């Protein structure tokens, strides 16, 4: 039953029998047979079928909620028993918004010092993807904004407050200023994150509150791409404080606080709300809570 539920979760996530089968490491006929067996065991139709996958039935949507809960609990049980035998070990999958990527070592480094047998994989995702991956059991935890858009049913731990600076090359307009206002951004050649990023939506809102609307000359989902363009002197950007320094661009650029208002938004660790947590997630949440206030600022 657990295997069939995992196959069903994969199918709901991929929306395609072939891709779901490939992800699960089985043939497509085997996946289809497992889903049909699950339907027979539960006595309801779960999947709308035609020439291809057409979505889940209402019963399928409800079973998907149960499947995530049951599979998550089964994984927790296995991890707990493994930790009881061998101590804390395993692999933690993290999804992180681009503006927080440079801050990840401040959490992972002390954690790995305490638990040297734990490994990490870290991927860059927008805030909506972080929450979606949590729901679909594709990651163990994420780092995202906590106070700007709805998070749903998650456990969260604040890590730091993100504040915003104008990032511009040395020798360009505003480079020698102590501060700038949001309204002064109107005439700059800006490069910003893409609109699917919550950071971009936050920036758009603050610009709108200042009574202006900007059309970026360049957009990217990579902070490194943005900083590289700022370094040419032809573009400026709006970024969280310390991002440029974290990525090693500090010598080429200046960061000037943006005021009127000086805005901030909380970034933190999120995990799917589940009791009990897996030993790995529980230890990661404990590490995040143990960080002194402002330790990651």
CA angle 219, 221, 224 (to 5 degrees): 95
In this structure, what token pair is assigned to residue 229?
């363009």
Per-residue pLDDT of the chain (297 residues; tens, 9 = 90+): 889 998 999 898 888 888 889 988 899 899 989 999 999 989 999 998 876 788 899 999 899 888 888 888 888 788 778 777 777 888 999 999 999 998 899 999 999 999 998 999 999 999 999 999 998 888 999 999 999 888 988 999 999 999 999 999 998 889 999 999 999 999 899 999 999 999 999 999 999 999 998 899 999 999 989 999 998 999 999 998 778 677 766 677 899 999 988 889 999 999 988 777 888 999 999 999 988 555 554
* Contact (Cβ atoms closer than 8 angstroms) between residue 265 and residue 202: yes
Longest dimension (CA), the chain: 71
DSSP letter, residue 186 = G
pTM for the whole structure: 0.76
CA 130-133-137 angle, 5° bins: 140
| Nearest residue to 60 (alpha-carbon basis) of 82, 76, 45, 71 | 45
Find out whether 233 and 191 touch, Cβ atoms under 8 Å: no
């Amino acid at each position: 039953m657990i295997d069939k539920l995992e196959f069903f979760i994969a199918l709901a996530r991929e929306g395609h029998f072939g891709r779901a089968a490939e992800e699960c490491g089985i043939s497509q006929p085997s996946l289809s047979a497992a889903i049909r067996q699950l339907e027979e065991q539960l006595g309801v139709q779960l999947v709308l079928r035609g020439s291809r996958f057409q979505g889940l039935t209402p019963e399928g949507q409800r079973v998907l909620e149960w499947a995530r809960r049951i599979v998550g609990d089964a994984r927790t049980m296995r991890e707990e028993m493994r930790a009881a035998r061998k101590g804390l070990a395993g692999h933690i999958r993290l999804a992180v918004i681009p503006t927080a990527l440079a801050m990840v070592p401040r959490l992972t480094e002390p954690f790995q010092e305490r638990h040297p047998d734990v490994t990490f994989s870290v991927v860059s995702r927008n805030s909506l993807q972080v929450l979606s991956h949590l729901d679909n059991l594709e990651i163990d935890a994420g780092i995202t904004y906590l106070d700007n858009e709805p998070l749903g049913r998650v456990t969260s731990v604040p890590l730091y407050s993100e504040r915003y600076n104008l990032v511009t090359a040395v020798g360009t307009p505003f480079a020698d200023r102590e501060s700038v206002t949001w309204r002064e951004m109107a005439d700059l050649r800006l490069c910003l994150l893409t609109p699917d990023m919550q950071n971009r939506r936050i920036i758009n809102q603050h610009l709108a509150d200042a009574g202006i609307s900007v059309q970026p000359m360049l957009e990217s989902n990579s902070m490194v791409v943005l900083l590289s363009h700022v370094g040419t002197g032809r573009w400026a950007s709006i970024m969280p404080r310390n991002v440029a320094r974290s990525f090693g661009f500090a010598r080429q650029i200046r960061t000037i606080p943006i005021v009127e208002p000086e805005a901030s938004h909380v970034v933190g660790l999120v995990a799917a709300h589940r009791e009990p947590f897996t030993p790995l997630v529980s230890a990661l949440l404990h590490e995040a809570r143990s960080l002194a206030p402002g330790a990651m600022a």
